Chain A
Amino acid sequence: MWSSWGRPYNIETPLKSFDLTRPITSQFLAIGNRRSYGDSCLITHGQGYDMLHHNHFLEFNPQTGLLKAQAGILFSEILTLCVPKGWFLPVTPGTKWVTLGGAIANDIHGKNHHQVGTIGNFIPRFGLWRPDTGEITCSPTQETDLFRATIGGLGLTGIITWAEIQLIPIQSAHLNVEWLQFSGIDAFLELTKDSQNYPYTVAWLDCSHKTKGNATARGVFIRGTHAVETQNIASLRLIPHTEKSKTIPLDMPSQLLNPLTVSLFNTLYYHKQITAKKQLLQHYDPFFYPLDHLNNWNKLYGKNGFYQYQCVIPFKDGKKHLQEMLNLIANSGFASSLSVLKTFGSIPSPGLLSFPQEGITLCLDFANRGDKTHTLFIQLDAIVLAAKGRLYPAKDATMSPETFKTCYPNWKEFSRYKHPQITSDFWERVTQ
């Protein structure tokens, strides 16, 4: 019995460990570290192949920072190897426990999207295993169609066996970080504009707070840059993270995450800084991965699991649509505990089905309250579609086939490269 990060439901067919020396005969899907929230990494009608033990480094050039590894390698392992040698992940999500293959299959984005785009831009080549062709090499000059379809291709084009990733140089494992309080979408957009030169920007949002029925959109804007050599000695050290983290022993009662606790959590985060602006030197681990401190925080939501909702809407009329969504959320009483706001830049995503496009992205958690939550999502989806935005498949468990096809008009072209022997619950849901 296994599931994804949001635990929408369980899969009964046991996973098998991926091993090229054993034949694959049924319908199948490559499964990474299951940090996707919805059903894109779930397969009910077929066999899931666990990639986690396909995790060896293959080549590393410490002069150029080009790393080649098997696709099941975790980002945490890449960091442990590369940080001491002065290299860092070019793009990283909010957890270091994702696999390289999973990251490519969702063409993930990080806090630096406005400057560098998605991870697909840093993958010069990868190996793709398909039942009929065996392993083939894909790059911008070889098997170009499959290259474009596999980046952000949700595992549906084949199994990524290995990949090259171009790392970026760092002089320190620390970052110079600034926290700035803001209130209102205008203030957020203003800060975003002022921070274009910072490689990393993100904002935490308190979605429960409202004034006269309108969401206040107050929060903390965070921006950071990698520390450099000229700074103090402590910042200089290239020490990677430790693998220590706390584990929650059992499922927590889901009532624990009622709107009150959520609001409390957000208020605490908001007031943690005594002043309106705070500067600090932070190791990359708490800066990029604050949630990794609690190994299985998804269990905080109890047995019913939870949803994450992430959309991006274009800048044009973005403020209006965002305010509409925030009002809806604040008034629903289902306020989300972790809400993240960020802007995506104009660098095009390389994948046919990549999620990021220029605009504002909003990302929130919702405890699973059944129909009530679904109704809220339907309302939110409508706003996203009206805004000409889209939803992130890595997070999604509910969008309708119509919504998917409208968000991703390339889906038809993509279907040509999807392998007939590969399927996922997500794909079956959104193309039915």
Chain B
Amino acid sequence: MKKHITIIGATSAIATSVAKRYIQENPHHHLTLISRSLPKLETLKADLSIRGGLHIDIDTQLTPKEPIDVLLIATGTIDDQDVQDCIDVNFTHIAVQLQKLIPFFEKQQHGSIAVIGSVAGDRGRQSNYVYGSAKAGLERYLEGLRHHFAPHKVHVLCIKPGFVDTPMTASFKKGLLWATPDTIAKGILKAIQKKKSTVYLPGFWKGIMFIIKNIPEAIFHKTKL
């Protein structure tokens, strides 16, 4: 079946992998790709067209005209030097934008809204609690939005990846727990299709975060996590 997939933050490595997977699934899917940088979008469009994509639109702003089957939001930054900016990009801008889209989705009475959160939102940790708290806020927001949309047959998904090898994490030392953007993309498509509410990707993060969440504070404070 031909779908209309809209991606905000389409230049993100994870989002790009999602777009590639949708094109692989069906080159006729309609992709609307949104990001702040038009030159990057043009390059992305060229790439996806060469990979077979037949119907790709790009824009710097989302102005929905036709029904959206899947809306993916992938913008995010771990850079918390500017605290305000970190909270804005990871939480405020996304919540504001989604609030504005509520009437549109209420009207169309279907579709999936999938937003990339993070395992970092599961527990506040000295290493990245500004980013983590914004992602935690995002998850609570999505929880509420899901409740709001329950009567409208609109599906809301919070995606919680662990470590993913992307430009955002170029400076990190990579190891066994790391996944490729394509592995995450595969999980995202599956979670959307199965209409899940939240998903840890890869799945083993569910267990890891269960343990991390349950470590008593007295012990937790002795760690450098």
Q: Which residue of B44, B168, B171 contacts A56 across the interface (Cβ within 8 Å)?
A: B44
In the complex, which residue of chain A has the Cβ closest to the Cβ of B180?
Answer: A243
The answer on a CB contact under 8 Å between A58 and B170 is: no
Docked CA distance A348–B43 (Å): 35
The answer on a CB contact under 8 Å between B167 and A56 is: no
Docked CA distance A249–B44 (Å): 34
The answer on a CB contact under 8 Å between B43 and A58 is: yes
Docked CA distance A56–B168 (Å): 17
B163-178 Cβ-contact flags toward A at 8 Å (1 or 0):
0001110111100100
Docked CA distance A59–B166 (Å): 24
Docked CA distance A58–B50 (Å): 8
The answer on a CB contact under 8 Å between B170 and A50 is: yes
Docked CA distance A15–B168 (Å): 11
In the complex, which residue of chain A has the Cβ closest to the Cβ of B166?
Answer: A53
B93: CB under 8 A from chain A? no
The answer on a CB contact under 8 Å between A1 and B173 is: yes
A294-315 Cβ-contact flags toward B at 8 Å (1 or 0):
0000000000000000000000
A375: CB under 8 A from chain B? no
Query: Which has the most chain B C-beta neighbours within 10 Å: A2, A14, A53?
Result: A53
The answer on a CB contact under 8 Å between B167 and A17 is: yes
A432: CB under 8 A from chain B? no
Docked CA distance A2–B51 (Å): 32
Report the interface size for chain B: residues with CB under 8 A from the other chain: 16
The answer on a CB contact under 8 Å between B46 and A56 is: yes
For A81, the chain B residues whose CB sits under 8 A away are 50-51
B5: CB under 8 A from chain A? no
A9-34 Cβ-contact flags toward B at 8 Å (1 or 0):
00000111101010000000000000
B31: CB under 8 A from chain A? no
CB distance from A165 to the nearest CB of B (A): 14
Docked CA distance A21–B40 (Å): 10
B47: CB under 8 A from chain A? yes
The answer on a CB contact under 8 Å between A15 and B171 is: yes
B156: CB under 8 A from chain A? no
For A70, the chain B residues whose CB sits under 8 A away are 43
CB distance from B46 to the nearest CB of A (A): 5
The answer on a CB contact under 8 Å between A15 and B170 is: yes
The answer on a CB contact under 8 Å between B50 and A59 is: yes
CB distance from B35 to the nearest CB of A (A): 12
**A14-B172 contact in complex given A53-B167, A81-B51, C-beta closer than 8 Å:** yes
CB distance from B89 to the nearest CB of A (A): 16
A60: CB under 8 A from chain B? yes
B13: CB under 8 A from chain A? yes
The answer on a CB contact under 8 Å between B171 and A16 is: yes
B77: CB under 8 A from chain A? no
A198: CB under 8 A from chain B? no
Docked CA distance A30–B172 (Å): 17
Docked CA distance A17–B51 (Å): 24
**A57-B46 contact in complex given A21-B37, A81-B51, A249-B176, C-beta closer than 8 Å:** yes
Docked CA distance A249–B168 (Å): 24
Docked CA distance A60–B46 (Å): 10
For A249, the chain B residues whose CB sits under 8 A away are 176
Q: Which residue of B43, B50, B170, B176 contacts A17 across the interface (Cβ within 8 Å)?
A: B170
The answer on a CB contact under 8 Å between B166 and A14 is: no
**A16-B170 contact in complex given A53-B13, A81-B51, A249-B176, C-beta closer than 8 Å:** yes
In the complex, which residue of chain A has the Cβ closest to the Cβ of B37?
Answer: A21
Q: Which residue of A1, A16, A50, A58 contacts B46 across the interface (Cβ within 8 Å)?
A: A58
Docked CA distance A56–B51 (Å): 10
Which residues in chain A, 27-78, are within 8 Å of chain B measured between CB atoms? 50, 53, 56-60, 70
Which residues in chain A, 240-285, are within 8 Å of chain B measured between CB atoms? 249
For B167, the chain A residues whose CB sits under 8 A away are 17, 19, 50, 53
Docked CA distance A70–B176 (Å): 28
CB distance from A191 to the nearest CB of B (A): 41
Docked CA distance A59–B49 (Å): 9
Query: Which has the most chain A C-beta neighbours within 10 Å: B47, B51, B170, B172?
Result: B170
**A56-B37 contact in complex given A1-B173, A14-B171, A16-B170, C-beta closer than 8 Å:** no
Binding site for A on B (CB under 8 A): 13, 37, 43-44, 46-47, 50-51, 166-168, 170-173, 176
A-B pairs, top 10 by smallest CB distance, nearest first, are A14-B171, A17-B167, A56-B47, A17-B170, A57-B50, A57-B47, A53-B167, A60-B50, A1-B173, A50-B170
A-B CB contact pairs (8 Å), 16 listed: A14-B170, A14-B171, A14-B172, A16-B170, A17-B166, A17-B167, A21-B37, A50-B167, A50-B170, A56-B47, A57-B47, A57-B50, A58-B46, A58-B50, A60-B50, A70-B43
Other contacts beyond A50-B170, A58-B43: 8, CB < 8 A:
A2-B173, A14-B173, A16-B170, A16-B171, A21-B37, A53-B13, A57-B47, A58-B50
